[in-house]
Structure 1
Amino acid sequence: MKAAVVERYGPPEVVEVREVPRPSVQGRSGRVLVRVRAAAVTSADSRIRGARFPGGFGPFARLVFGVRRPRRQVLGGVFSGVVEEVGAGVTGLAVGDEVCGMTGTRFGTHAELVVARVDRLVAKPAGVSHQDAAGVLFGGTTALHYLDDRVRPGHRVLVNGASGAIGTTAVQLARRAGGRVTGVCSGANADLVRSLGAEEVVDHTTTPLTAVPGQYDVVLDTVGNIDIAGGRALLAPGGVLLLAVADLGQTVRARGDVVAGPSPEEPEHFARLLDLVGSGDLRVVVSRTLPLAEVVEAHRVVDTGRKVGNVVLTP
């Protein structure tokens, strides 16, 4: 099968599409082999490929992902596809079923086929495209993790990075919860962010975050350029600062009105997001859809830090 292989850390050009052995679920209980129809290229893929980890996490990340080179040479942690082979002990799934999910630190979705654990999968609704299913999971699960049960009707919510993979979903989830949303993005993406439900948009190219007016009940930073002191200055009394991208120091100091740390990959969150997409209540923003052969270009787009919504590969 064809896969995007990364044998060393470096720029997007280190990714090469080549033939690799076909994976199998033989002898692997609770696994299925999935033909990948769509896979997201995320900021996590970009960071790992380039060994660019949040401040303070570098040594620990190298131990997890590979000290001198990536331990998992096929990146990609999000996918949607069709079951091609069923392993031992699998019930409730059959060849031909459409599924989607996340693979965690095992990665492997930037390929024509991937082996996935059944407990990390959900059925893809018939009315949701493979591209939208793959696009919604990474940013969507992060947005849901941070915002769920924290936004109340009338709350003022600031989403920093409102046009990205996390931000485009966060704006919509906060609005659905009754929040009054202000999105921070570039002026070029202002109309998009308004169309997703933001009442106000702040152009970060002309207005620094320190000059953002008002106090907010919830501040969600999806970019990583709000420190704890600066974030707290934006909060109303009783507000909460949510750091979806935080360095080690911020993560260690997060307590009380500051929340940081990784978001879990929960299948029940997958199902909730997909139901919203299927009902038309959540829009998935996919700015680029590229074939596997153009995976280098996908990484280049993500590396800019100005990716709009999601970038999706179609192996």
Structure 2
Amino acid sequence: MTTIPKTMKAWIAIRAGPPQDILQLKPDWPTPAPPTAGEITIKISYAALNPGDAKTMLSRISCRSNSIRGMDFVGEVVQVGPLASTFTASSNVRLGMIVAGTVPTMHLLRGVGVLAQYMLLPADAVVEKPEGLEERVAAGLLGVVGQTNVVMLRASNVKKGDRVLVNGASGGVGCISVLVLSGMGMHVTGVCSGRNEALVRRLGAEEYLKPDGRYIAIEAGPFGIFKLNNWLPVILGGTPRTIKNIFSPPDRASAQEVVKWFENGLIKEIPIDSTFEMDGVLQVNSSK
């Protein structure tokens, strides 16, 4: 088993609040304990940040004091817990493997995050980075962005030839949606800011709509207009379409599906907005 340092560099949330107010870089934070059965230690090479990271920091429920934040990552397996052949047979995790994924919800609530040099996770929470996929790209693609698309595709039951509207088509989730849906033979219309129209069309959108046009939708609430339209029969003003709210925890099976999309050529271009060194985490949050 590889020996790792007793301390590491890590960004620590000292309390709940906006990232720029609560994150502190600690150069000598204790590294995770050695892995137990079914666990692995990962040396983080890239972490991908998304709006969900900032939102979880705002809540005292989801953000413990003195915790490490961040969900999406890629890195090298440097330690494997005992009985690995039994507990990791399904994931085939081995020393030196480059893996990626998203921190499981319960681990995130306990203060385990990716904004550190090392992290301890269950072996069955990760997938192997496929050949040909850059590590810096894998950190985002195989995490929340990719897995969200898998869940949406399952719930929507769309098929080849269908017409699909992607709102926020130039965002992290939206870019992958356009790539995958168009690659599967669907007619994609993208909605995004005008400066990103060329990008969205290049990714596969056949049509483009300006976001500052006429009314499209009202933000959903538990008893808002969306719910009313679901309940009312069409004759009374309801719609013949079902509006679904989707939530899914991080899931290795979903990440594996994203790997298949990449290997099958559905995901060809993956836009990267910015890349920062670890010390520049606050620059990331202040620039979004």
Question: Of residues 153, 158, 165 in structure 1, which corresponds to 2:165?
Answer: 158
- Quick check: 292-301 or 259-268, which moved more? 259-268
Unaligned stretches of 5+ residues in structure 2: 1-7, 86-91, 231-237
**Alignment-derived partner of residue 293 in structure 1:** 279
Structure 2 counterpart of 1:10, one-letter code: G
Unaligned stretches of 5+ residues in structure 1: 52-61, 212-223, 240-256, 303-315
8 Å Cα contact 1:159/1:181 also seen in 2: yes
1:151 alignment partner, SS class? coil
**Alignment-derived partner of residue 89 in structure 2:** none
Q: How far did residue 50 of structure 1 move? A: 3.0
Alignment of 1:121-136 (within 5 A): 121-136=126-141
For residues 172 and 15 of structure 1, the distance between their equivalents in structure 2, rounded to whole angstroms, comes to 35
Structure 2 counterpart of 1:94, one-letter code: R
Question: Of residues 250, 260, 273 in structure 2, which corresponds to 1:275?
Answer: 260
For residues 180 and 152 of structure 1, the distance between their equivalents in structure 2, rounded to whole angstroms, comes to 10
Work out which structure has the larger RCO, using CA pairs closer than 8 Å and 6 or more positions apart in sequence: 1
TM-score normalized with structure 1 length? 0.74
8 Å Cα contact 1:144/1:173 also seen in 2: no
Equivalences, count: 255
**Alignment-derived partner of residue 233 in structure 2:** none
Q: Which has the larger radius of gyration?
A: 2
For residues 230 and 158 of structure 1, the distance between their equivalents in structure 2, rounded to whole angstroms, comes to 17
Matched, 1:87 2:81: yes
8 Å Cα contact 1:37/1:82 also seen in 2: yes
Structure 1 counterpart of 2:161, one-letter code: G
**Alignment-derived partner of residue 23 in structure 1:** 32
TM-score normalized with structure 2 length? 0.80
Q: How far did residue 21 of structure 1 move? A: 0.3
For residues 215 and 204 of structure 2, the distance between their equivalents in structure 1, rounded to whole angstroms, comes to 20
Matched, 1:170 2:177: yes
**Alignment-derived partner of residue 196 in structure 1:** 203
Matched, 1:264 2:249: yes
Per residue, is there more strand in 1 or in 2?
1
Matched, 1:32 2:18: no
8 Å Cα contact 2:16/2:65 also seen in 1: no
1:258 alignment partner, SS class? coil
Aligned-residue identity in percent: 29
For residues 230 and 202 of structure 1, the distance between their equivalents in structure 2, rounded to whole angstroms, comes to 22
Q: 1:14-63 CA distances to partner (integer Å, 9 max, x unpaired)?
A: 2121131011234x221100011111111110101234xxxxxxxxxx44
